[in-house]
Chains A and B, each alone.
Chain A
């Protein structure tokens, strides 16, 4: 009886405590993130985006994959090559680090 009463009596307290324990370590992060979001949203939605002349879409072929592929292999071929090297080296680095020394 007494236990029930006490538990009933203290349930809101428990909820509050758990809420507090949930928010306490996160509150600064929450506030900062929320304010940041607010700032960005305010600046985005209060900016009058000029309506650009839409380039007539190619109705027959709406896909832009071809364009991207052409761009990658013409204008941006050098970054592409560098990227391949970066990928390879990061792969090797990751394997090296993850393997550890003398483990196997």
Chain B
């Protein structure tokens, strides 16, 4: 029995763990944490073995499809892309679960926590190994529900429950777009088949979708006088879904607020389970994006813009977790940029983007768990009250610094020396350069290199403010227990070496996602459908471009060391409410004012309230009119009920007489 036959167990075991923990967790020690940990461990082992197998012969992807109903199916697809996702998700989730045992030990509803995280992991694993877009969508929605439950885990806090609602509603905007994309795709495929689908063909399976890309691309729709290809519409709608889940620019507002949940949940959302779903969706449907160059452009520009937009806000935040949240948004922007520049480098874009996703998962989970460790020990999020934590929490400090170096992307080009973040971020920036040189659009490159500088700046600001210097307030800290430091160490090791060890194999491995015995995609041919040509592959950039990311990272480190480490520059004049730039950044570009106060409250809430009121009035008027009519006619008619027998008798006799006359007349007529 091949290990691939067990692939369906990967999401099923955590789902089973959810049920068991939910019902039995309260009776077990630690809220029944052992059940999801065991289940996810098995999932991790299976996914690791499958990945090993796939590495040897990447052609033999695992695909099992079963007819679900009509022309839809459920199935398992483990190709290189899914395999690395599965391994990453199960590993990070496993570590976070182990860490949570310590972190959540004081919480009353531990069992609910572990049940929900198990379901979260299960749905994300299910999402990763779906072989059709509908199953992917179902898991996608499950992920959304779980994020709602977990962000609002401490639902007694009003801020937590409103953050949960915000997350759910914001991602829902994207979900609706995704669903619309699926519907359009389904109707297009149905039309291609002329409504007669042969047996054994499941039209929403990825291989069917990809085979019919040229036909879909040939369909045109007329939108506002412009001829737009259906493939562009569908991919843009899919990307809309990805924007919502992955926190890209217009719909990123939920992500910082998601900090209201437990820190471990933030780690889970930011690293492993939720925000990567959008990137994964774009990577999974990448051949479609290849055939739609305008969509790829949107992806690239929006990714680059999000990267710098979030990084600028990260600089001024004082909340430990909020800095990390904006960092996540920024890094997701990088991943989207990496996919968007696929217009220049083809399928390799999936490789580098997913590589960054994996590495980011490790170091971002690490950052969050370190922050959680600090918060757990110290009891405050506010960096201004911290400082010198390194003395009391050495392990946490060291792992945090490793993660920070990884995030900032330290490493020496063309060698194997470097933190894992370097090996994934560097190629993205280089690809952006290639994209610029082949298409003449330099904006993504410029934005991404500036964002790299800002990234280095904000993460070392965090490190210096939190771990070095003198304590600013009196806090009693202690190092966290082993259940928390062991996952930290494992993640630190991964953040340190994973990139260096796997980089070349990884690109090639994931880039082969679309050429195997499940799908055979000719990426350059798809580019031809889109009407453009792929540029040459990465690696021929000028020396300066190769070293540029490192230079800006070091520059960021130095600047933040000067400002926050040595305090040679007095920031007090800069950091004040009178400085318009600082004010703009500190108020997060007035997003709250725009989204919550204006869009939600003024437009949607009050607009809907007004419309609802008007409709309500309309209904009221109609209903009241009908009832008034009834009452008045009743008033009029009840005059006949005199209560005097004679009246009734008269009426009866008159009626009988009339009846006789009528019958007579009718008989005569007949």
Contact = CB atoms under 8 A, between A and B. Distances in A.
A39 B657 contact: yes
A35 interface: yes
A28 B657 contact: no
Interface string B394-428: 00000000000000000000000000000000000
B653 A39 contact: no
A33 to B, nearest CB: 7
A39 B646 CA distance: 21
A32 B650 contact: yes
A43 B657 contact: no
A36 B646 CA distance: 16
A36 B661 CA distance: 10
Contacts of A29: 646, 650
Contacts of A28: 650
B664 interface: yes
Nearest to A31: B654
Contacts of B626: none
A27 to B, nearest CB: 11
A54 B481 CA distance: 124
A11 B360 CA distance: 118
Contacts of B657: 32, 35-36, 39
Nearest to A28: B650
A36 B659 CA distance: 11
Contacts of B650: 28-29, 32
Contacts of A32: 650, 653-654, 657
Task: Give the interface size class of chain B.
Answer: under 10
B667 to A, nearest CB: 11
A8 to B, nearest CB: 39
A39 B660 contact: yes
Nearest to B652: A32
B664 A43 contact: yes
Contacts of B660: 39-40, 43
Contacts of B653: 32-33, 36
Contacts of A35: 654, 657
Interface in A1-58: 28-29, 32-33, 35-36, 39-40, 43
A59 to B, nearest CB: 40
A39 to B, nearest CB: 5
A29 to B, nearest CB: 6
A39 B657 CA distance: 7
A35 B660 CA distance: 11
Nearest to B659: A39
Nearest to B661: A39
Contacts of B646: 29
Chain B, interface SS category: helix
Contacts of B664: 43
A40 B659 CA distance: 12
Contacts of A39: 657, 660-661
A76 to B, nearest CB: 29
Nearest to B650: A32
B655 to A, nearest CB: 10
A40 B661 CA distance: 10
A9 B495 CA distance: 126
B196 to A, nearest CB: 73
Interface in B613-670: 646, 650, 653-654, 656-657, 660-661, 664
A43 B653 CA distance: 16
A33 B664 CA distance: 19
B489 to A, nearest CB: 101
A39 B660 CA distance: 8
Contacts of B654: 32, 35-36
B651 to A, nearest CB: 9
Nearest to B646: A29
A35 B656 CA distance: 11
B385 to A, nearest CB: 93
Scoring B650, B653, B657, B660 by chain A CB atoms within 10 A of each residue's CB, the highest score goes to: B657
A33 B654 CA distance: 8
A36 to B, nearest CB: 5
Nearest to B654: A32
Contacts of B656: 36
A43 B662 CA distance: 12
A28 B642 CA distance: 15
Interface centre among A32, A36, A40, A43 (most CB of B within 10 A): A32
A90 to B, nearest CB: 20
Contacts of A43: 660, 664
Nearest to A38: B657
A36 B654 CA distance: 7
Contacts of A36: 653-654, 656-657
A29 B653 CA distance: 10
Nearest to B655: A32
Nearest to B663: A43
Interface in B354-381: none
A62 B654 CA distance: 42
Contacts of B661: 39
A31 B650 CA distance: 10
A32 B650 CA distance: 7
A43 B659 CA distance: 13
A33 B653 CA distance: 8
Interface in B282-300: none
Interface string B25-51: 000000000000000000000000000
A32 B646 CA distance: 12
A80 B653 CA distance: 32
A33 B646 CA distance: 12
Nearest to B660: A39
Contacts of A40: 660
Nearest to A36: B657
Interface in B150-175: none
A35 B650 CA distance: 12
A40 B657 CA distance: 8
A88 B656 CA distance: 34
B657 to A, nearest CB: 5
A29 B649 CA distance: 10
A35 B661 CA distance: 10
A84 to B, nearest CB: 30
Nearest to B656: A36
A50 B272 CA distance: 104
A36 B660 CA distance: 9
A32 B653 CA distance: 7
A43 B667 CA distance: 12
A28 B657 CA distance: 14
Nearest to B647: A28
A44 to B, nearest CB: 11
Interface in B497-529: none
B177 to A, nearest CB: 74
Given A28-B650, A32-B653, A39-B660, 6 more contacts: A29-B650, A32-B650, A32-B654, A32-B657, A36-B654, A43-B664
5 contacts: A28-B650, A29-B650, A33-B653, A35-B657, A43-B664
Give 6 nearest A-B pairs by CB, closest first.
A36-B657, A32-B654, A39-B657, A39-B660, A32-B650, A32-B653
